[in-house]
Chains A and B, each alone.
Chain A
Amino acid sequence: MQSKSLLELASAISSGAVRVVDLTFTLSPDFPVIVLPPEFGQAAPVRIQEISRYDGRGPAWYWNNVTFGEHTGTHFDAPIHWFTGKNLPNNAVDTMPAKDMIAPACVIDCSAQAAQDPDFLLTVPIVEAWEARHGRIPERNWVLLRTDWSKKGWRDYSNLGDDGAHTPGPNPAVMKWLVEERGVIGFGTETIGTDAGQAGHFEPPYPAHHFLHGAGRYGLQCLCNLDQLPATGAVIVASPLKIQNGSGSPLRVIALMSST
């Protein structure tokens, strides 16, 4: 590729011919986190503590100390996050190839189904129907599941019942198929977790985590603004913090897309 086309991309971004869509929620203390039984270790919630704010603690400057778990807010899952990916090379956020941080995305709109059924599951036939309209999912693409879940209030967003969360996600067969038959680079959702709320009861449990990370692929969750993306043609930039041996990290996810 000639450097000229890269410069053309930069000027297209600058001119607005290429639109940049922010797919990220604001990292804030009140954003829901994954709920595990309390006897397990818990993700530390996001905490923002002022160091100074143009005051006696620092007269001319404002800054904060921030603490959070690796899996809070809009965040990235690396293969090392799951037992299936624990022995893969370069499986953590600091060692993963930087080129994997930029890839095209196929967006599968299931917002209508998710509106009807919070336990909606993406299946192989649904993806095949999508392919019939938009073409086969190319290798090393992200598959993003649009559910419009990100538009809900926090309670409906986490949608916790006394039998766990009820949020949409992929079924086991489609995850295995996307990884093995379509070679996706990763799978992204609007919900808390790449897996469905009830995925702990699937076989295998948490199939998105199981198959993606077992094959060295990635996860993105708590995405928003997927409704602004085309079915194909958007490019995702997802570069997690370079945390030593990190299993994931909150990050800024942006999409580049043609504005026409």
Chain B
Amino acid sequence: MIEPIKPPRRKNPLLRTRLPASPPRPRSRMSHGFTRAAAEGRFMLQRCEACGTFAYPAREACPSCLSAGLAFVDAPRRGVLLAETTARVPSDVYFRERAPWRIGLIKMDCGPMIVAHLHADCAEGAAVSMSLQLDKSGQAVAFARPERETPNMADDKQWREMTADPKFRRVLVTNGRSVIGQEAVTALKAAGAKTVFVGIAEPWRPFAGEERLRGQDGIEIVTLDAADEKSATDLAADIGGKVDILVNTTEYVRPGGLLDRRGTSIARDEIDQAYLGFINLAQAFGPAMRMRGADGINSSAAWVNILSVYALANWPAFGAYSASQAACLSLSHCLRAELRPGGVRVMNLFTGPVDTEWFQTVPPPKVAPRAIAQAIVSGLKDGLEEMYVGDIAEEIRQRLAANPKALERELDR
């Protein structure tokens, strides 16, 4: 049984902040099939297309029939813990600092044996539910949890290394003017965040929901115009060392593509808000987050971007906006690599049109802002890297994977 984690005490200023160490990084190219699955929270194994055998670890050929047709497919998660061991003095710096560390050998119902990190409530001989998680190196590892929910399950020390649970963490929601931003604040607070800082640009402009935000404990309204370099830097000077999770809720949606717009001023605004805003936030908050990746219960843990799924495939009706989102997507991969040494994960949420005024004339289905907020929390709790929120986002992803040209033609109408 897990002892619930306690709210962290204030830092002792006499002690050096523990610097992040990373678990072993190297993987074979084939193994990144697991990385992809882990990023999306799926449990996938290779399965032989010829004989149906599930294989683990990643292989080039089927261990049973030597067929080369080993595709990653969603696999049943259930297994039984055969044996466990506790590493007390590992030689690896990352694990040594976190020892004792439990690992175990699991016999999967679907066949293979997997060596996995163990949740503390896993008992020998009992059933476990297996998942693929991204560790602090951003690499996929197998993780076994009890098949059924146990008390304080998410507070397990090893599990918390694999996730970015908002519990007791301090979160910056960069734009609290939008409905998405405000829903995110509510959801993160409900998930146990100690403090949610809410960025408000141009505080002289009133906005809906302001009174409700101001009235709540643990919610601090701060002035932040992400598109303004100085504003981002000034806020980071105040709270940069206390931002454990940054949720980038920048939202600047304008319809139109190229030919039916005149000039570049709207495009400039799109770039200013979305792309340069991203850079300003990253430069202001990223370095401290990267440094604080192992700073106890409330270590820095994650950076969340909310992106349009049309970052992946241009939707000409919102063509210039799509392009600005594509730029942000590319930037997010850069940020992910740069935050990696700190063990800080970058989670991208892809959404279709959201139920807000800028998509007013777009027919449903549209994503409810609350669904985005809930996805942020569940993604952080599960330690995900990619999420597709809503039917449209999921559909675009699938169609893109199936035939990018077909998708391009079909979005063009």
A158 to B202, CA, bound (A): 11
Contact of A44 among B202, B204, B225, B268 (CB under 8 A): B268
Chain A, range 150-199, C-beta contacts under 8 Å to B: 153-155, 157-158, 160-161
**Residues of chain B within 8 A of A161, CB atoms compared:** 206
- Interface membership of chain A positions 34-49, coded 1 if the CB is closer than 8 angstroms to chain B and 0 otherwise: 0100000110110111
Shortest CB-to-CB span from B190 to chain A, Å, is: 29
- Say yes or no for A29: interface residue by CB 8 A criterion: yes
B269 close to A42 (CB less than 8 A): yes
- Interface membership of chain B positions 216-237, coded 1 if the CB is closer than 8 angstroms to chain A and 0 otherwise: 0000000101011111000000
- Say yes or no for B265: interface residue by CB 8 A criterion: yes
Q: Kindly count the residue-residue contacts between A and B in the assembled complex, taking CB atoms under 8 Å apart.
A: 46
A29 close to B204 (CB less than 8 A): no
Contact of B227 among A32, A47, A155 (CB under 8 A): A47
**Residues of chain A within 8 A of B266, CB atoms compared:** 41
Shortest CB-to-CB span from A26 to chain B, Å, is: 13
Interface size bracket, B side = 10 to 19
A48 close to B229 (CB less than 8 A): yes
- Say yes or no for B205: interface residue by CB 8 A criterion: yes
- Say yes or no for A139: interface residue by CB 8 A criterion: no
**Residues of chain A within 8 A of B227, CB atoms compared:** 45, 47
**Residues of chain A within 8 A of B268, CB atoms compared:** 44
**Residues of chain B within 8 A of A154, CB atoms compared:** 203-204
- Say yes or no for A128: interface residue by CB 8 A criterion: no
B204 close to A158 (CB less than 8 A): yes
A18 to B411, CA, bound (A): 68
B269 close to A155 (CB less than 8 A): no
B265 close to A30 (CB less than 8 A): no
A45 to B201, CA, bound (A): 12
Closest 10 CB pairs of A and B: A154-B204, A155-B204, A29-B228, A158-B204, A32-B204, A49-B229, A41-B265, A160-B206, A160-B205, A47-B228
Known: A32-B205, A48-B230. 19 other contacts (CB 8 A): A29-B225, A29-B228, A29-B230, A30-B225, A32-B202, A41-B265, A42-B265, A42-B269, A44-B265, A44-B269, A47-B272, A48-B229, A49-B229, A153-B204, A154-B203, A155-B204, A157-B204, A158-B204, A158-B205
